Structure 1
Amino acid sequence: MKKQLLFINIVLLTLFSSCKNKEEVAPVEEVKANTFDVVVDLKIEKDDELILFYKDPSIAYFDDKKTVYNGVKGKSESQLITFSIPEGVLPNDIRFDVSSNKDQAPITINSITLSFEGRVFKIEQRDILKYFTPNEFIKFDEATGVATFIKNGENFDPYFLTKPLIYPEIEKVRGAKM
């Protein structure tokens, strides 16, 4: 009988101590993908869908397969919009479509930041035209960062293309050896 009681006590003690140990283990955080991100600080007053096109060494031109869409709720104050390029893809060029809404009010772009693995390149408002070229659907005021949209009949596709000056900066953010 003493052996049975001793056995039961050992089993109970083991159960209680293992339960206690489980409570002390910190929860494991979900590991997030390490993505190349483009973060745009802007003020956009009407709901819209913004698009980031990207190229990598496998393609020579922008196409619909290499895009990141971001639905945006319009606000009267600035907001950060993050485009995360899929994990494992390192772009060598980007195109930023700033509106899909034909009724969009002018937007203000405060900055554009590229980041990957802790490496960051931030383009301030005053330097946007140094690194990007607006297409024919955008009138961009460099002093204020305001992009006004130009309608051409039914055509409406306002976007910014990169200038060659940005390519070395993209490479640095990617971590490429120069």
Structure 2
Amino acid sequence: MKNILFTFLIIIALFSCKDNTKEKTKNENGYNENTELKEDPKLQVLINAIILENDVFEVYYYELGQDTFHPKDFVFTKVIGKPESQDIIFILPEKTYPERLRLDFGKIKTQKPIKLNHIKILYGNKEYTFSEDEIRNEFKASKYLDFNKNKFLLSPREIEGRYDPYLYTKKVSNIVNYLIED
């Protein structure tokens, strides 16, 4: 009797711990069918560049209603230096739709000039690639970053002991809205 009760409890426990990623919905015939719950895609920023030294890059963002970039609103990624082009991808937190972006190009003061190839914003299967003219005219460099707009070379520099090389965008909310709309 104890074995039957024990087996029965095991069976109940197994069925009560089933995967809840499916949802029952009625199709047009009124029958229940299981459909996968979809996770919303996250906005991504992709920088393609040649970075020669290992470093840590960051993307800061602020959303509608904010006045400036907040020190807590950023994502980062480690970059492995190499002489070939590479994609550096930043995944923004879920339901983050920035008004502006700030692309920080490293923490190490010995970083060599960076050859910037292109910048994209991605969402699901949609993407927006900034044109060379948009990068030249709509991305502004901090005083800690020399931006050769003809060769697309970014040269970080230290000034009076401070080091903070970055590019920041004008408004990108129209691009973000385009990407997230159905």
Question: Is TM more than 0.5 here?
Answer: yes
Identity over the aligned pairs, expressed in percent?
23
Q: 1:78 pairs with 81, 85, 97, which one?
A: 85
State which structure, 1 or 2, has the greater radius of gyration over its C-alpha atoms: 1
Aligned pairs for 1:23-172 (under 5 A) are: 34-57=41-64, 59-125=66-132, 127-164=134-171, 166-172=172-178
Measured against aligned partners, the alpha-carbon deviations of 1:118-138 in whole angstroms (never above 9, x if no partner) come to 231101445412221011111
Q: 1:35 & 1:73 partners in 2: Cα distance?
A: 24
Task: Using the TM superposition, give the Cα deviation of residue 116 of structure 1 relative to its aligned residue in structure 2, in angstroms.
Answer: 1.1
Whether the aligned pair in 2 keeps the contact of 1:92 and 1:171 (CA below 8 Å) is no
Whether the aligned pair in 2 keeps the contact of 1:126 and 1:143 (CA below 8 Å) is no
Q: Which amino acid aligns with 1:140?
A: F
Structure (1 or 2) with the greater strand fraction: 2
Whether the aligned pair in 2 keeps the contact of 1:126 and 1:145 (CA below 8 Å) is no
State the SS of the aligned residue for 2:97: coil
Q: 2:55 & 2:74 partners in 1: Cα distance?
A: 16
Q: Which amino acid aligns with 2:140?
A: T
Structure (1 or 2) with the greater helix fraction: 1
Q: 1:123 & 1:74 partners in 2: Cα distance?
A: 24
TM-score (ref. length: structure 2): 0.72
Task: Using the TM superposition, give the Cα deviation of residue 101 of structure 1 relative to its aligned residue in structure 2, in angstroms.
Answer: 1.0
Q: Which amino acid aligns with 2:149?
A: E
Counterpart residue number, 2:19: none
Unmatched 5+ residue regions in structure 2?
Answer: 1-37
1:175 paired to 2:181? yes
Measured against aligned partners, the alpha-carbon deviations of 1:26-65 in whole angstroms (never above 9, x if no partner) come to xxxxx77611000000110001110100112353221122
TM-score (ref. length: structure 1): 0.74
Runs of 4+ in 1 over 4 A off after TM superposition: none
